[in-house]
Amino acid sequence: MKHDLDDILLEMRITARIVVDPRGGPIRRIINGRHHKPTGRYSSAKARRAMPWEDKRERAFFWHCEADTKVKTYLAQPHRLEINIARPMPLIYFPDTLRNMADGSVEIVEVKREYDPAEDPDYDLKLNLAATIYRKIGWSFRIVEAADIEHLSMLETVWTIQRSRHARVSLRENFSIREALERNGGSAPFAIVAEALGGGPAGEARLCASIVRRIASVDITSRLKPDTEVTAVHATEVATYPSR
């Protein structure tokens, strides 16, 4: 079902407001004892906080955010969007994830197993209204389905990277990564860079943690292998995360 939502907003004088948690964290904690499905919290090194999830696909999407150097930081359940239309009560929407991207853009993501707009036209209208409101403030909105999240080679790569997210990366090791890349013309195989960090599982873990910290970068859409190309994240785009 398609709507010219800009016209709807203009004609119906629809208003909206975004309500955030005053502490800056997720506005909805999810884990409240009333759910009969897997729920949990994911300890993010990139966002430096625990993220609530109520579906395993949401947790897997956090792995993507953690490993993707195009994402500077992200937040689960970032706010409550209240959309006032010609009804006694406003429409309420809780987006799954807000992502602050390295290019300065902001992205709102809704995670679904699969999405068929025809199954629930009212819900589809709410999502479309939300997308229009976000667009008006300069944010993008998209629905990510399970098939995109669970693509096998990508899922294996992001899982491998994020599982070492809390490994310590010292300033000296940061320099070792950049020196290894510079010696090889700006990029080097994963195995070579890991060797510069001590080699073996420990060196690989440090390199993976450096990807989470946006010091180094790999193509997360392909399977992570010893010859996977590693590049440096541009210095002006690097976020600062404390070593653990």
pLDDT tens-digit series, residues 198-235: 999 999 999 999 999 999 999 999 999 999 999 999 75
Q: What is the pLDDT of residues 125-166, one digit of tens each?
A: 899 999 999 999 999 999 999 999 999 999 999 999 999 999
In terms of C-beta distances under 8 Å and separation of at least 24 residues, what long-range contacts does 11-16 make, across chains too? 12/85, 12/86, 14/83, 14/84, 14/85, 14/129, 15/83, 15/84, 16/81, 16/82, 16/83, 16/84, 16/129, 16/133
pLDDT tens for 35-85 read 556 789 999 999 999 999 988 999 999 999 999 999 999 999 999 999 988
Domains of the chain: 5-149 (3.40.1350.10), 168-237 (1.10.10.10)
pTM for this structure?
Answer: 0.88
